Structure 1
Amino acid sequence: MVTQWITEYSHGGMMDNRPRKKPRIVWDDPQTIPHPKVPTPLHCVQQVFNGASMDHTFSSMHYNPRIYRNPSPPWREDSKDGHYVFSIGENLTFRYRILSKIGEGTFGQVLECYDLEKKELVAIKIIRSIKKYREAALIEIEVLQKLAKHDIGGTHCVQIRHWFDYRNHICIVFEKLGPSLYDFLRKNNYCSFPIDLVWELGRQLLESVAFMHELCLIHTDLKPENILFVSPDYFKVPVYKFLPRFSKDFSNFKSIPMFSTIKLIDFGSTTFEHHDHSYVVSTRHYRAPEVILGHGWDYACDIWSIGCILVELCSGEALFQTHENLEHLAMMERVLGPLPHNMVNRSDWRAEKYFRHMRLDWPQGASSMESIRAVWKLPRLQNLIMQHVDHSGGDLIDLLQGLLRYDPAQRLKARQALQHPFFTRNPNRCGYSPHLL
């Protein structure tokens, strides 16, 4: 920005003919050129969403930031937590028009934006203006660029377009994907997915994680919220088609994705195998036992999370719905059997309090009767799966037992799991076909 001084005559008052000096601002940065009278193309963008053609004044325009001066909003103070403050319809730099807020987390916010240059929808992750989150974002960008370099065709992970630093916020631009697995579960009132779709989602998930592990990367935060369908399209199917024969319900419908292609997102916690590992990783419900017991962790923590996700897709609910370590371990023993003594022996000083005489201090150490009831209502893994799966139940149970082994050294690897009979035994199964449901 350059400030020049010009002479103007005032109008009004007692000294009408007296000249005065007034600063004139010359904007040399196209991102900050104020031009409030330029009409917004937001209505044109909305027409595109509704399937209509774009307004001719917008569609025929060749994008040039110095000609089409679409200003950035005035500088605002960040929120007290360091989040970027925005309004729907305004610009994020001259290039991106903010359309909606997709989500928010500890890292910052994700916004749906329209790229005025490429004329496409994108998702932009705006990192909080706090040093530790900015540093983590730079590591995430490094991971994303490595994934993009090796993920030819972008079949496994969300693709990064580019990134920039805007008003002390690191902004990462991604391709726009569809809803997450969790969004579908919630939309269906946490009703399970059909087994053919679970088969297809599990296969893709294991292939994506195997791809990451071969690049010496550990995701560490696999959960349904971080697995997105590529397409947002879906259709309605009667619920009775997914219930056992003795439990027919002809009144309700549930949403089924039209296409089953998925991609992994959120690599903010992803760790290179050779980097230092933090003490705790993974969202609580999907956290492996070796993390809780303080043994350290490696690639196997991702495999445990996949096992928990597959159970959730089959049942509709998270397998371990808990918020404290002792209750979490008690739930594991209830569903999978007792923890092995060698793992209990190796527990660090933080986890020793959960055991007494080499046995889990449960229910004596429970925080409440509600906690005890939450554990006792859980069925064994075999019973839980057979409640929701009519066919392929035996193979699926065996697969899950391999993914959810307590000892990470004995847990299945991603490539080994893809060779399991659940994926290979039925030669006629060729993938998810929603029209056959």
Structure 2
Amino acid sequence: MELYAVKICDLSGITEENDKQNLLLETKNMIKVRSVFAIKYYNSWIESDSLYIQMELCLDSLKNLLQLKRKLFSTKPPNRMTSFEVYISLEIFRELTECVQYMHEKRIIHRDLKPDNVLIALEEPLYYSKTRLKLCDFGLAKEALSIGAYVMSDDVGDPRYQAPEAMGTDYDHLADVYSLALIGAEIFVHYNK
């Protein structure tokens, strides 16, 4: 028996054509980025004023993983990370940078990188039990003509992780690098009680 996740997007309250296009764009972008670095897309359909997106089921999000990491290591001395905490942080950041690099090699700018949009998947076969970070939520993603090419858009993701230039209209893949740096700061910060 295979298990899937189904994202349900309510279409009834959407009047803006731009919002509808973003939802459809998400499924198109998920099809383009089939790889170990992005959530696997299986199917989508519209039913009762809702768009259903069937995709890979994941264990958790990077946001929850960072909260758990904070709880586990918060009893250590101020401003000191243990070697184990450093190793875990490096592995998380390495996997995340691989995901972003893959998207950029495919000329896709994610535009909404944040810990909520990084999921933890369990790779097959199950007996191997390897987890892998994967990007999700491609509703704001844009395809650039080439790396370094500028994209114009008024849509913005989470302002806490947005590059200043992404708040305007012209920006490139470096907007994702800015978001990645902010996430990296969260990964490597050491919390004390």
TM-score w.r.t. length of structure 2: 0.76
Contact 1:191–1:315 (CA under 8 A) maintained in structure 2: no
Contact 1:127–1:134 (CA under 8 A) maintained in structure 2: no
Q: State the Cα distance separating 1:190 from its structure 2 match.
A: 5.7
Task: Tell me, yes or no, if structure 1 residue 306 matches structure 2 residue 184.
Answer: no
Task: Tell me, yes or no, if structure 1 residue 284 matches structure 2 residue 159.
Answer: yes
Q: State the Cα distance separating 1:260 from its structure 2 match.
A: 4.6
1:174-225 Cα offsets, whole Å, 9 max, x none, are 0100111111233455666821122112222111111111111100111111
SS at match of 1:266: coil
Q: Aligned residues, how many?
A: 169
Structure 2 CA distance for partners of 1:286 and 1:137, relative to 1, 3 Å: same
What is the RMSD computed on CA atoms of the aligned residues?
2.7
Bigger radius of gyration among the two? 1
Q: State the Cα distance separating 1:135 from its structure 2 match.
A: 2.3
Matches within 5 A, 1:405-424: none
User: 2:10 maps to which residue?
Assistant: 128
Task: Tell me, yes or no, if structure 1 residue 195 matches structure 2 residue 86.
Answer: yes
Structure 2 CA distance for partners of 1:276 and 1:310, relative to 1, 3 Å: closer
Structure 2 CA distance for partners of 1:316 and 1:166, relative to 1, 3 Å: farther
Contact 1:134–1:169 (CA under 8 A) maintained in structure 2: no
Structure 2 CA distance for partners of 1:308 and 1:279, relative to 1, 3 Å: same
The letter for the 2-side match of 1:146 is: K
Q: State the Cα distance separating 1:161 from its structure 2 match.
A: 1.0
1:289-348 Cα offsets, whole Å, 9 max, x none, are 3235x472110010011111111011168xxxxxxxxxxxxxxxxxxxxxxxxxxxxxxx
Q: Name the % identity.
A: 29
User: 1:141 maps to which residue?
Assistant: 27
Q: State the Cα distance separating 1:168 from its structure 2 match.
A: 2.3
1:226-271 Cα offsets, whole Å, 9 max, x none, are 111114xxxxxxxxxxxxxxxxxxxxxxxxxx85521111111111
Distance 1:216 1:315 in 2: 30
Structure ranking higher on relative contact order (CA contacts 8 Å, 6+ apart): 2
Structure 2 CA distance for partners of 1:224 and 1:230, relative to 1, 3 Å: same
SS at match of 2:188: helix
Matches within 5 A, 1:10-29: none
The letter for the 2-side match of 1:178 is: L
Matches within 5 A, 1:4-403: 119-129=1-11, 130-131=14-15, 132=17, 133-148=19-34, 151=35, 155-187=36-68, 194-231=85-122, 259-274=130-145, 277-279=152-154, 281-292=156-167, 294=168, 296-315=170-189
Structure 2 CA distance for partners of 1:290 and 1:196, relative to 1, 3 Å: same
Contact 1:220–1:282 (CA under 8 A) maintained in structure 2: yes
Structure 2 CA distance for partners of 1:139 and 1:295, relative to 1, 3 Å: closer
1:34-87 Cα offsets, whole Å, 9 max, x none, are xxxxxxxxxxxxxxxxxxxxxxxxxxxxxxxxxxxxxxxxxxxxxxxxxxxxxx
Distance 2:94 2:69 in 1: 22
Distance 1:316 1:265 in 2: 27
Contact 1:191–1:316 (CA under 8 A) maintained in structure 2: no
The letter for the 2-side match of 1:300 is: L
The letter for the 2-side match of 1:305 is: S
Distance 2:139 2:66 in 1: 24
Structure 2 CA distance for partners of 1:161 and 1:280, relative to 1, 3 Å: closer
Structure 2 CA distance for partners of 1:137 and 1:159, relative to 1, 3 Å: same
SS at match of 1:120: coil
Distance 1:311 1:121 in 2: 34
Q: State the Cα distance separating 1:141 from its structure 2 match.
A: 1.1
Unaligned segments of structure 2, at least 5 residues:
74-83, 123-128
Distance 1:137 1:191 in 2: 37
Distance 2:184 2:71 in 1: 14
Structure 2 CA distance for partners of 1:277 and 1:295, relative to 1, 3 Å: closer
Distance 2:158 2:95 in 1: 21
The letter for the 1-side match of 2:9 is: I
Distance 1:190 1:269 in 2: 32
The letter for the 2-side match of 1:202 is: F
The letter for the 2-side match of 1:142 is: K
